[in-house]
Structure formats: structure tokens, C-alpha cells
Amino acid sequence: MVNFELDKLKHTTSGNFFLMAGPCAIEGEEIAMRIAERIVTLTDQLEIPFIFKGSYRKANRSKGDSFTGIGDEKALKILEKVGKTFGVPTVTDIHESAEAAMAAAYVDVLQIPAFLCRQTDLLIAAAKTGKVVNVKKGQFLSAGSMRFAVDKVYEAGNKRVILTDRGNTFGYQDLIVDYRGLPEMQSFGVPVVMDVTHSLQQPNQSSGVTGGKPQLIETIAKAAIAVGADGLFIETHPDPAHAKSDGANMLHLDLLEQLLVKLIKIRKAVV
């Protein structure tokens, strides 16, 4: 694992935003290492602080037979190997309080899924590990409501919090991003991230498989950087069409470099 200071993410020496990126789920060691190596190469060249993202288990699935993971310990050990091999922090989701200590033994950042951001026991368990806690804003909550999630982590003795927006519910099968929420959550004194790819999901499809609008990834990312987001969250894969989870809204790995170059230019223009 990598020890890193949260303030360095918000106030990077390069002046860039930071990036949380990787596959939706850990599908296997070879592909995780390949994705990580590519992103590390890009972010090192572009001086973008990077946190590798991968879910060791997917607990929130529409259908009972959807892919959920390759095994908790196996996936967590892959995340640990990515961190040690490339010298980068790693982040993964947890879903129940009992998972906090287990995941904390392998990764640097514990992520609270959007649907679980009000679960007090889960937030407290994550906080008590001493790890950075990334809380995703619920699709059903206002930005202002996330103050209470921050308070719960703080009151448990942990001041290392990130908030991540991932859009708001807009009808039954779509999400919309309210960019007013980014500066509002920044007013709480924590780094704020825009989850670009999940904001483009189209949930609750009749097929039982979540859809998406990946053609709008650049649009959402550009707007977030222009507004002043501290970081971006982007799920990426070398073959999204065959990814085992959330392929419909992921960015093709080959497109990441050109996107980041454009975003850096916007960042420099607005800072």
C-alpha cells in the first residue's frame, strides 16, 4: 500500500486535477495490471496524480446472475499487487461494515457506494480504519445533504474524506449532473470528484443490464474541470463491449490519453 496525503490531491504540485481510474471490477490479474500500467504511464507523463480503481466485488447488480467478482481475497490481492508494482494508491468499494477492515488491509482508499452513503455504521467502520474514505453522493440526495456524510466520518475520528458526485436520478432510466453541487460540496473543505462514467449510466433497463452514453464522457469531464472539480473518476477498459461489469458506460482505454490532454488544457485555462 502507498501512504499519501489527501491535501496533495487537492493542491497538486503540477496544478492538475487528480484521477481515479481503472476497470469497473477486478476481472483478473493480467488485465488489471495491463490497465494499470497504461494509466500509470499516461499520468506520469502528464503529471496527473493517480489512484487505481477496481471493485473487488460488485454487490449492486440488477440481475441475480450478473458478474459479481472473482473472489474477494483474490481480487483484493490483485489490487494490492497493482499498488506495490506501480507505486500508486488504490481504491475499492465496500458494502457492509464487516468489509471495512478486510479491504483496508489491501487498499489505500475505501469507497462508499452512492446507494449506501447514508449508512451510518458503514461510514463509521470505514472511518475507523484510518484510510481515506471516498463517499459517493447518492443519486437521490442533494449536494448539501452530503455534509452529514462528512460529519459522520469526522466524528468517528477520521478527517480524510473525499466526496464524489455521480449524477442525480432523472426519471426512472436516466441521470443528470447538476454542476452546482461541486462547489457546494467543496465548501465542506474536502476534495470533490466528478464520477464521469457512472453519471452517464442509464439504469433500470428492461433487459436488466444498465445502459449508458459513453459518447458524452468528454462532455461531462470537460464541464467538471471547467467548474473546478478537484478530481475525476473514470472507469476504463481495453474492450468495454466485453467487460464483465458496466461496459456500456466505460471509456475505451485507447481514448484516455487524448481526453486527459484536452482536460489539462481546460484546467490551465480556468485556474
- Residues 6 or more apart in contact with residue 72 via CB below 8 angstroms: 56, 57, 102
Q: What is the pLDDT of residues 125-183, one digit of tens each?
A: 999 999 999 999 999 999 999 999 999 999 999 999 999 999 999 988 889 999 999 99
Q: Contact at 8 Å (CB) between 73 and 55?
A: no
State the chain's mean pLDDT as an integer.
Answer: 92
Q: Is the pLDDT of residue 3 over 70?
A: no
How many independent structural domains does the chain possess?
Answer: 1
Asked whether residue 79 is assigned to any structural domain, the reply reads yes
Q: Domain residues for 136? A: 6-270
Predicted local confidence at residue 79, as pLDDT = 98
Q: What is the pLDDT of residues 183-206, one digit of tens each?
A: 999 999 999 999 999 999 777 555
135-138: long-range contacts at Cβ-Cβ below 8 A with a sequence spacing of 24 or more? Answer: 135/111, 135/161, 135/162, 135/163, 135/164, 136/111, 136/112, 136/163, 136/164, 136/165, 136/166, 136/195, 137/163, 137/164, 137/165, 137/166, 137/181, 137/185, 138/114
Give CA–CA dist 120/269, Å, rounded. Answer: 40
Contact 199, 165 (CB under 8 A): yes
Give a yes or no: residue 171 inside a domain: yes
- Of the two residues 70 and 64, the one the predictor is more confident about is 70
In a domain, 178, yes or no: yes
Q: What is the mean pLDDT of residues 21-38?
A: 97
Above 80 in pLDDT, residue 67?
no
Q: What does the pLDDT read at residue 203? A: 72
- Residue 249 has a pLDDT of 85
CATH of the domain at 183: 3.20.20.70
Q: Is 130 a domain residue?
A: yes
Residue 168 in 3-state DSSP?
strand
| Integer CA distances (angstroms), 152 to 6, 110, 130, 161, in order | 18, 15, 14, 10
Distance separating alpha carbons of residues 197 and 255, to the nearest angstrom: 13
In a domain, 168, yes or no: yes
Concatenated DSSP letters for 98-136?
THHHHHHTT-SEEEE-GGGTT-HHHHHHHHHTTSEEEEE
Q: What pLDDT does residue 10 have?
A: 57
Q: Please state the rounded mean pLDDT for residues 28-47.
A: 97
Is the pLDDT assigned to residue 65 strictly greater than 70?
A: no
pLDDT at 143: 97
Position 1 in a domain: no
| pLDDT at 24 exceeding the cut of 80 | yes
Q: Is residue 91 one of the residues assigned to a domain?
A: yes
Give the confidence band of 58 by pLDDT, cuts at 50, 70, 90: confident
